[in-house]
Amino acid sequence: MDETRKKTPEHFLFLLVENFSHLAFSCAVEPLRIANFVAKADLYNWSFASEDGAFAHASNGSETRVSHAFKDHARADYMFVLSGLGVQSAATPNLLSAVRRGHAHGTRIGALCSGSYILAEAGLLDHQQAAIHWDYHDSFMEEFPLVNLSRSVFVVEEPIITASGGTATADLMLYLIEKRHGEDLATEVADHMVYNAVRDVGATQRVSLQSRHGARNQHLTQAIQLMSKSIDAPLTPSVIALEIGISSRQLERLFGRYLNCSPKKYFVDMRLQKARRLLVQTDMSVTEIAYATGFNSPTHFSTSYRVHFGVSPSNQKSKI
């Protein structure tokens, strides 16, 4: 019998907070449904809970019938808090009690979109990494300074699983499917979703410069914009500083203060992220991608890529 069929089905319980993100909701549930369909086996089952135990409303106005109330939810292998708009005022006593009780009983706890707000309010994220939708980064860091907020699309190597919402939720679910049932099934699920740009745990959220960095410094934004425009022919930090009218020392201080790295390191990381997208999303050769992202030779590019991502460009491309 196929090993996939021998495993006990895992149950996912989604705590739907009023005004939850319907995009994240679909990206959470559909990969599980498709996994069952592709495997022709009940690998996963799921249920929903809300404050009143009857319905939950998404921010797009749709209404979802649920099976449980937060105060009397069923046991599960995974419990995910799924929220959206207005999460800052959504931490009801019943919701906080539900996640604390689940955590105490050994359920794997997670949060999607803005759900990390709820888990942080419950005291479950102190001194660990967590992801949240970029729109909440500034306020979250102010309110929960003990949480190590990550720019990644999702975080799994912690007691609590968190994803930044939207399609990052699909990335997380595909990751969990692969971990339990193997890469082949996860790839088939992604194919059925027509999803060919799956991001791994190391990928960062791609948002506007201002929101991504939580910075409101005009010189920093100008510097990053110059980097974005010169990826194929990288400018040196000294040239960038000259272009935006500050000294090289000031540029170093800006990147250190807001991004905790040097301009040179940030620029290399930016170029490598673009290289990864080109590897995953195009038919360009490794050599073409090396020169398109400003590396002097394919050898230098391959070495830098392997150090950054833990896999060579050729092996990355062979997985597609």
* 192-210 pLDDT tens trace: 998 776 766 666 665 445 5
For 37, residues 6+ apart whose C-beta sits below 8 A from its C-beta are: 192
47's enclosing H/E stretch is strand 44-50
For residues 47 and 117, membership in a common domain is answered with yes
Each residue of 56-70: b (16+ CB within 10 Å) or e?
A: bbbbeeeeeebebeb
For residues 13 and 118, membership in a common domain is answered with yes
For residues 65 and 179, membership in a common domain is answered with yes
Of the candidates 174, 148, 124, 216, the one whose C-alpha atom is nearest the C-alpha of residue 132 is 148
Q: What is the pLDDT of residue 3?
A: 54
Q: What is the pLDDT of residue 143?
A: 84
The CATH number given to whatever domain includes residue 131 is 3.40.50.880
Average pLDDT over residues 97-120: 96
Least confident range from 33-37, 61-65, 192-196, 201-205: namely 201-205
pLDDT above 70 as % of the chain: 90
Q: What is the pLDDT of residue 207?
A: 47
For the chain, give the mean pLDDT.
Answer: 89
Conformational region of residue 194, where left means phi above 0, alpha means psi within -120 to 50, and beta covers everything else? left
* 286-303 pLDDT tens trace: 999 999 999 999 999 999
Using the predicted structure, report yes or no on whether residue 98 has a pLDDT greater than 70.
yes
Q: What is the pLDDT of residue 242?
A: 96
For residues 86 and 31, membership in a common domain is answered with yes
Q: What is the pLDDT of residue 175?
A: 94
Q: What is the pLDDT of residue 278?
A: 84
For residues 49 and 104, membership in a common domain is answered with yes
* Confidence band, pLDDT 50/70/90 cuts, at residue 92: very high
Is 204 part of a structural domain of the chain? no
Alpha-carbon distance of 310 to 82, in angstroms, equals 31
Least confident range from 106-110, 135-139, 169-173: namely 135-139
Q: Could you tell me the residue range of the domain that residue 85 belongs to?
A: 3-192
* Confidence band, pLDDT 50/70/90 cuts, at residue 68: very high
Number of domains present in the structure of the chain = 2
For residues 167 and 250, membership in a common domain is answered with no
Using the predicted structure, report yes or no on whether residue 27 has a pLDDT greater than 70.
yes
Say whether pTM exceeds 0.85.
no
Is 200 part of a structural domain of the chain? no
Structure tokens at 230: 């010169």
Is 179 part of a structural domain of the chain? yes
Least confident range from 40-44, 206-210, 237-241, 263-267: namely 206-210
Average pLDDT over residues 24-33: 97
For residues 51 and 123, membership in a common domain is answered with yes
* 208-258 pLDDT tens trace: 455 455 456 889 989 998 998 999 999 999 999 999 999 999 999 999 988
Alpha-carbon distance of 49 to 27, in angstroms, equals 17
* Residues 127/148, Cβ–Cβ less than 8 Å: yes
For residues 162 and 242, membership in a common domain is answered with no
Is 105 part of a structural domain of the chain? yes
For residues 24 and 171, membership in a common domain is answered with yes
